[in-house]
Amino acid sequence: MNEEVKNSCVSASDFVRVDRGMDSDVIARPSISYWKDVWRRLKTDKVAIICMVYLLIVIAMAVLAPLLSQYSYDSTNLSHLNEGPSAAHWFGTDQAGRDLWARIWVGARISLLIGFGGAVVPMIVGTLIGGISGYFGGWVDMVIMRIIDVGACIPDLVYITLIMLFLGAGPGSIVIAIAISGWMGTARSVRGRMLQFKNREFVLASRTLGGSGLHQIFSSILPNILGQQVVSLTSMIPAAIFMEAYLSFIGLGVASPMTSWGQLAQTGQKVFRQYPYQLFIPGVIISVTILAFYLFGNSLRDAMDPHLRN
Amino acid sequence: MKKYILQRVVISLVTVWLIATCSFFLIHALPGDPFSTERIMSVETKEKMLAYYGLDRPILEQYGTFMKNLLHGDFGYSLKNPGQSVNGIIAEKFPVSAMLGIMSWLVSLPLGLLFGILAARKHGTAVDYGLVAFSVLGVSVPVFIVASLFQYLFAIKLGWFPVSRWRGWSYTVLPVLTLSFGSIAGRTRSMRTLMFEVMSEDYVKTAKAKGLSAREIVWRHQIRNAIIPMIPTMGMEIVGILMGSFVVENIFSIPGIGAYFVTSVQSLDYSMTLGLTVFLGIFVVVANFLVDLIYGLVDPRIRVAK
């Protein structure tokens, strides 16, 4: 061993002593927060970037296109019925002579609002109830879980039909209907995570320091399960858009002259043998948007937790 | 196991009661009455009609009658289809919907599992990518788009199958394909993931260490274990197929229960809506109950955990 050291061509003078001065505590690189780290991984994922750009374009179009278009979504023009796409009407006109370009993007506003509302509202309600149930346990937990056991057995369709009947057709009632049937899944998963976390050291520390119950839930536990919630949010948005399209299609959704993607597809379906573009344009936009949300959600999940990647 | 079954029976009964009660009161709280949408009717006729159907009685009395009849399995008479009982309509129309649903299920189950297993076995090849693309597309395209597309392509352009109606085997092909499309895609995706998850389990490693052939590992260990978590999703699947059938029945003009459900909801036909909601509710609850029971029977670990 010593022989080797002696025979090697590295001498003691090749080593420079690190200065043990004041700045040994300086951190060489800026610290990276969890979300920055997620973004850094997400940026390298081509599919995620394409989906994100597409979704941003759709959102921008939903906001801007109806403002910029020379046609209004509900003004009829009886001399231009069922015209195919042209320079004047980019997506053609429907059976009342309304411009489909304007209608698609007004419909996008409604469909996207329902998508976000139908994901965020049940998420918040479910997180709150699941959090309380998991954190406090005991009879509160028992009652909430029994309610969910029964509630989850009732088919969504029943809830939704009854609520749509009761509140009348419209975007607001669709969101409420989706929320009433959707919060239970979130509540269950949040409760599970809550049980996992509530006896971990950092929560115990918070309790020892005198943090109240709600303080522990909101500042110690929720930040830890936020990632998972964001991921499930990205799958709840397309599910809500899907549901809106379905409801409008069977005539329980948004009523004319207001419009949504589902409603456009429904009116298009009635005449699609003569005018296929009236069904396929909204159809393709709905499908691609749902696809983009799903793919983006998958990439986001991978970026947040690289262990899950398969 | 007995305790578990008992618990599930109680929950199912409470659920059915809740569905019936909520539906009853919500429907009666709606603005307007079933005859206000019809062509102008004199006040006396309307009162006579309401009295005839017992709709002028106090609501609690109506509820009592409704629950009593429900216990006897009697949903009453339709208000909008004179002379027809709700039971009669269900007995006539539901078999068509049920057949459509069962056929789609029989098509989607083996195909979905097969595609999932195939994708996992051929991991990283063109077959895998193709199946993954199909499964992602399949869950993103709404069922009415698939239905219209199939109808346009295979019935109108190519003329292979009839465009609509329900008169024989050739009429069932397109609706069944449409309805199973989404389930096949969903199943392919989850089966593929489950196959990967199982691959890293200890028992698969043990099987490899014992020197079993790849084929034996896949058939005897991987597939058997990967299928188990698919069972509880079957309840959801049944609901999905049921909801899809409403659209498919509409597009292919199939005389099933879906069309009645939608029209009765829109025309405030109290007894029809109530009857169909409760009937479909009971159907789904029973299906979920059976699925859970099968799950418990197939996987002993579930029983222990409960």
Task: Mention every residue, 6+ apart, whose C-beta is less than 8 A from residue B218.
Answer: B117, B121
Facing residue for B239 by CB, picked from A156, A251, A294: A156
Q: Which amino acid is located at A3 in the chain? A: E
Q: Does B102 touch chain A (CB under 8 A)?
A: no
pLDDT greater at residue A282 or residue B301: A282
Residues of A with CB under 8 A from a CB of B: 149-150, 153-158, 161-162, 165-166, 238, 242, 245-246, 249-252, 262, 265-266, 269, 272-273, 276, 279, 283, 286-288, 290-291, 294-295, 310
Task: Give the model's pLDDT for residue A306.
Answer: 63
**Alpha carbon distance A124, A113 (integer Å):** 16
**Alpha carbon distance B9, A241 (integer Å):** 35
Asked if the model's pLDDT at residue B305 lies above 60, the reply is no
Mean pLDDT of A7-12: 70
pLDDT greater at residue A223 or residue B118: B118
pTM of the model: 0.80
> What percentage of chain B reaches a pLDDT higher than 70?
94
Q: Does B242 touch chain A (CB under 8 A)?
A: yes
Quote the radius of gyration of chain A (alpha carbons, Å). Answer: 27
Mean pLDDT of B168-188: 86
Complex ipTM value = 0.78
- On average, the pLDDT of chain A sits at 81
Q: How confident is the model at residue A115 (pLDDT cuts 50, 70, 90)?
A: very high
**Alpha carbon distance A270, A263 (integer Å):** 11
Task: Give the model's pLDDT for residue A122.
Answer: 93
Which bin fits B39, alpha (ψ -120 to 50), beta or left (φ > 0)?
Answer: beta
Q: How confident is the model at residue A310 (pLDDT cuts 50, 70, 90)?
A: very low
Apex B201 CA angle, B196 and B205, nearest 5: 105
**Alpha carbon distance A139, A150 (integer Å):** 17
pLDDT digits (tens, 9 = 90+) for B119-164: 988 888 899 999 988 988 888 888 888 888 888 888 888 888 887 7
Task: Give the model's pLDDT for residue A150.
Answer: 79
Q: List CB contacts (< 8 A) between A281 and chain B.
A: none
Mean pLDDT of A68-95: 74
pLDDT digits (tens, 9 = 90+) for A200-216: 888 888 888 887 877 77
Q: How confident is the model at residue A249 (pLDDT cuts 50, 70, 90)?
A: confident
Q: A72 CA to chain B: closest CA distance, Å?
A: 26
Facing residue for A252 by CB, picked from B12, B27, B265: B265
pLDDT digits (tens, 9 = 90+) for B193-227: 888 888 888 888 888 898 888 888 888 888 888 88
Mean pLDDT of B84-112: 88
Mutation test of the interface with chain A: which of B148, B149, B150, choosing the one with the most A Cβ atoms within 10 A?
B148
Q: Render B213-232 in DSSP notation, one character per residue.
A: -HHHIIIIIIIHHHHGGGTT
Q: Name the architecture of domain A44-65+91-308.
A: Orthogonal Bundle (1.10)
Task: Give the model's pLDDT for residue B256.
Answer: 84
Asked if the model's pLDDT at residue A103 lies above 90, the reply is no
Q: Which of B162, B181, B182 is nearest to B172 (CA)?
A: B162
pLDDT greater at residue B81 or residue B201: B201
pLDDT digits (tens, 9 = 90+) for B10-24: 888 888 888 888 888
Q: List CB contacts (< 8 A) between B26 and chain A.
A: 162, 165-166
Task: Give the model's pLDDT for residue A2.
Answer: 57
Task: Give the model's pLDDT for residue B34.
Answer: 64
For residue B30, give Cα distances in angstroms to A176, A192, B20, B260. Answer: 17, 38, 16, 19
Task: Give the model's pLDDT for residue B32.
Answer: 64
> What percentage of chain A reaches a pLDDT higher than 70?
92
Q: Which of A251, A124, A140 is nearest to A182 (CA)?
A: A124
pLDDT digits (tens, 9 = 90+) for B14-53: 888 888 888 888 877 776 666 665 556 677 777 777 777 7
CATH for B96-266 is 1.10.3720.10
Angle (deg, nearest 10), helices A222-249 and B143-150: 40
Q: Check A158 against B277: CB less than 8 A apart.
A: yes
Q: Which of A306, A294, A181, A182 is nearest to B186 (CA)?
A: A294
CA B198 to centroid of chain Cα atoms: 29
Asked if the model's pLDDT at residue B304 lies above 60, the reply is no
Is the separation of the CB atoms in A157 and B261 below 8 Å? no
Asked if the model's pLDDT at residue B89 lies above 90, the reply is no
Is the separation of the CB atoms in B273 and B264 below 8 Å? yes
- On average, the pLDDT of chain B sits at 82
Nearest CA in chain A to B31: A166
Residue A265 backbone dihedrals phi, psi, to 5 degrees: -65, -35
Peptide bond into A257 cis (omega under 30): yes
The interface residues of chain B toward chain A in range 56-75, judged by CB-CB distance below 8 A, are none
Nearest CA in chain A to B238: A155
Task: Give the model's pLDDT for residue A73.
Answer: 73
Mean pLDDT of B256-260: 82
